[in-house]
Amino acid sequence: MSARYFSKKLWGRMRYAPTLTDERGAFSLFAFGWGRGGLLWKAKGEGFLKDVSWLNELDFKTSYGTQGNSSIPPYSTSSYVGKVGQKKGGMSLGFVSLGNPDLGWEHQSKFTVGVKARLLSRLDLNVEYYNRITSNMLFEVPLPYTSGMPAGNEGYATRYENVGRYLN
């Protein structure tokens, strides 16, 4: 279930355009809440730039937002029991997965600032700088052989954990 709230208000002759987005809801693995906000300033509409004939358009923009990722297999947060082998012709049961009840969303935040201009009715310029940080990254972390867990496809037992941070 997800609800989105979006508001946008333009003042004057569309010189300032703020945006705000809020997203709340639930997911089968984790609850979430993400948001984004931004501001656009159409500077060419200001009185001190209206008479500059070689400048057709000049916009400044900035934004900040967060989002998440939960791309992991189902049941990764829970432990469960299954067949782990046979002994004397009978089936042996044991843990086939050690869940992680502390598992949460992979979190991403992004800040962007930029300028867009059109010069002499021919030259378009768009320059942006962004800083994106991903934290609590979802990784399959190897478990020690002494955990008693059966080896997976990789040849060792694993479980998902929130580890790592990445700057892009």
The 10s digit of each residue's pLDDT in 152-166 is 666 677 888 888 888
Tokens of 100: 């992680």
Q: Which residues contact 96 (CB under 8 A, 6 or more apart)?
A: 80, 81, 82, 83, 84, 149, 150
- Rounded Cα distance between 109 and 68, Å, is 9
Instruction: Give the whole-angstrom CA distance, residue 85 versus residue 87.
Output: 7
**What are the 10-residue block averages of pLDDT along the chain, 168 residues in total?**
38 69 62 79 88 92 86 76 79 80 85 96 96 90 78 75 87
Block residue for tokens 């049961």: 93
Q: Give pTM, 2 decimals.
A: 0.68
Using CA atoms, how far residue 32 sits from 3, 21, 167, in Å, is 11, 14, 22
